[in-house]
Amino acid sequence: MYQYFKDMAAGIETKILQDPDLPNPRKRYALETARLGGRLYSGNDTVAWCGIAVPFDLLNAMGMTSCFVEFVGAALAATGLADPFFEEAEQAGFVGDTCGYHRAVLGAARKKVMPEPDFLIASTCPCSGGVAVMENLAHLFNKELFVLNVPQENSAQSVAYLAGQIRDMAGFVARHTGKPLDEDKLRQAVENTNQARKLMQDMYQLAQNVPSPTDGRLLINFGLVMPLFCGTEAAVEIARAYKDEFTARIQRGISGVPDEKLRLLWVQNRIQFNNPLVELLQKEYQANIVSDELNDIYWDPIDPDDPYTGMARRAISIPLNGDIQGRIKHLQKLARAYKLDGAINPCNWGCRQGTGARGLISDGLKEIGVPVLNLEVDCVDRRNFSGGQLRTRLEAFIEMLASRPQAQ
């Protein structure tokens, strides 16, 4: 895997150097992802496997190479290598009804394809299954586990509780690395995070343009993966590259999807393995996925003088946290801002927290006139992917959207 990521990074660097003056946002983003993969597998870095809501800017400031474990599941699916790891996990008793991201990770860890961490940090947000997987990995690797309990309520008491845990987490990391937190590095990391946040906010604003400069592929997994780079200069560079690219496209009148006719929202996670659905939408129907649920700035800038409080507020504000009304309001906000025609919810099989409420989410978007297509897909495990059926359902949905008066 180390060689795979190293070669991938080298290939992307070469391509960027061919046109160094272009923003190349997706290439810069992919490059940083490949570099992270390389560091995780290098055997030289201090590695922490984490949950999704962990403050990675703090870990980056402390010199950690850290990543949420679902990243591994997504990477294995994207490269078409996940099947033997699902089989390994299932043979060990992890049933197919559970989350595909987690099954892939557990299989990879059992087959020793996942690098051994120095320690693990779980977060109770977004899901119960994620915490259980971290407990399994801590047991398997025989490494210490720290748990961040992320409260649901965005109250002063909840923020203070989580902020205290994040402070304790910094102590836990320092104890393992032998390097105490450098306050200047943390301040710089927070400033980088805030800068990247502002650039991403601008970039998302640009993506709302009609027609949109994005194309349904440029921002795949962006809101999920970018937190891994928070606190670094790379995050700022990537965000700036996207902003510059979108600005240039709008100035030149370039639409992400030529002759954009329909604007769609993708709920929660994309399908991680190679599939024809996005291309079908774009090429045959000029339907553009202009927004992903997690591609948004939902947190305030972090006060460098009180970073733990800001990080706690950010974690609690993740749209997948809290009650469904909060999530629906966020989706409605996106629907209005992006002038959406419809939404697609893949209903990732095995995801209780996200898919569990699909009926409530559908109702919430329908309230503001946005129809929702609920699919039945395991976004990571391709073994049961029925492309033909999905194509038929997508086509029917798009034809319905296209026939609505507001789309004509």
Partner 1 sequence: MEDHLIDKTLGYACAYTPLVLLDAAGCAPYRILPMSDCPDQAGQLLHDNLCPHVKRILDRAISRDLPDLAGIVLMNSCDAMRRLADAWRRVRTNDPVILLDLPATADDAAVAYFTGELSRLNDALSAWCGHAITSTDIAASVVRYNKLPPLFSRLSERLCQGQLSGGSARMQGLYNTAMTASFDESLSTLEQAVAEAQSKTPQDNGIPVFLFGNVLADPEVLQFFESCGARIIADDLCTGSRLFTTIEFDERRDGLAQIARSLLTRTPCARTFDPAQPLKMAEDIQARAHAAGAHGVIGQTIKFCDPYLDRLPAVRETLREAGIPLLLLEGDCSLRSIEQQRTRIEAFIEMLA
- Residue 269 binds partner 1, judged by CB under 8 A: no
- Residue 127 binds partner 1, judged by CB under 8 A: yes
How far, in Å, CA of 144 to CA of 395, rounded? Answer: 49
Computed on alpha carbons and rounded to an integer, the radius of gyration of the chain in Å comes to 21
Contact region for partner 1 (CB under 8 A) — 128-136, 195-203, 269-277, 300-308? 128-136
The contact mask relative to partner 1 for 69-108 (x = CB under 8 A, - = no) is -----------------------xxxx-xxx--x------
How far, in Å, CA of 18 to CA of 20, rounded? Answer: 6
Q: Which of 61/375 has CB closer to partner 1? A: 375
Q: List strands edge to edge, sheet with 65-68.
A: 65-68, 47-50, 119-123, 145-148
Q: State which amino acid sits at residue 26.
A: R
- Residue 157 binds partner 1, judged by CB under 8 A: yes
Burial class (CB in 10 A: 0-12, 13-18, 19+), 82: buried
Q: Which of 89/239 has CB closer to partner 1? A: 89
CA 166-169-174 angle, to 5 degrees, is 135
How far, in Å, CA of 362 to CA of 37, rounded? Answer: 36
Contact region for partner 1 (CB under 8 A) — 182-190, 298-306, 349-357, 395-403? 349-357
Coil, helix or strand at residue 148: strand
Question: Could you tell me the smallest distance in angstroms from the CB atom of residue 241 to partner 1?
Answer: 36
- Residue 131 binds partner 1, judged by CB under 8 A: yes
- Residue 349 binds partner 1, judged by CB under 8 A: yes
- Residue 271 binds partner 1, judged by CB under 8 A: no
Q: Which of 38/51 has CB closer to partner 1? A: 51
- Residue 385 binds partner 1, judged by CB under 8 A: no
Contact region for partner 1 (CB under 8 A) — 19-27, 74-82, 141-149, 288-296? 141-149
- Residue 136 binds partner 1, judged by CB under 8 A: yes
Q: Which of 146/204 has CB closer to partner 1? A: 146
CB 100 within 8 A of CB 379: yes
Q: State which amino acid sits at residue 147.
A: V
How far, in Å, CA of 245 to CA of 370, rounded? Answer: 29
Supply φ then ψ for residue 271, to 5 degrees.
-75, 125
- Residue 17 binds partner 1, judged by CB under 8 A: no
How many C-beta atoms surround the C-beta of residue 406 within 10 A? Answer: 8
Question: Could you tell me the smallest distance in angstroms from the CB atom of residue 145 to partner 1?
Answer: 4
How far, in Å, CA of 293 to CA of 54, rounded? Answer: 19
How far, in Å, CA of 329 to CA of 154, rounded? Answer: 15
Question: Could you tell me the smallest distance in angstroms from the CB atom of residue 308 to partner 1?
Answer: 13
Give me the count of residues in the chain. 408
How far, in Å, CA of 344 to CA of 396, rounded? Answer: 13
User: Which residue in the set 24, 46, 65, 165 belongs to the binding site for partner 1 (CB under 8 A)?
Assistant: 165
Contact region for partner 1 (CB under 8 A) — 31-39, 216-224, 247-255, 317-325? 317-325
Q: Would the CA dihedral through 100, 105, 106, 111 be positive or negative?
A: positive
How far, in Å, CA of 17 to CA of 214, rounded? Answer: 23
User: Which residue in the set 111, 283, 300, 325 belongs to the binding site for partner 1 (CB under 8 A)?
Assistant: 325
Q: Which of 217/393 has CB closer to partner 1? A: 393
Question: Could you tell me the smallest distance in angstroms from the CB atom of residue 130 to partner 1?
Answer: 9
- Residue 368 binds partner 1, judged by CB under 8 A: no
Residue ranges that bind partner 1, judged by CB under 8 A:
92-95, 97-99, 102, 122, 124, 127-129, 131-133, 135-136, 138-139, 144-147, 149, 151-153, 157-158, 161, 164-165, 168, 323-325, 347, 349-350, 352-353, 355-360, 363
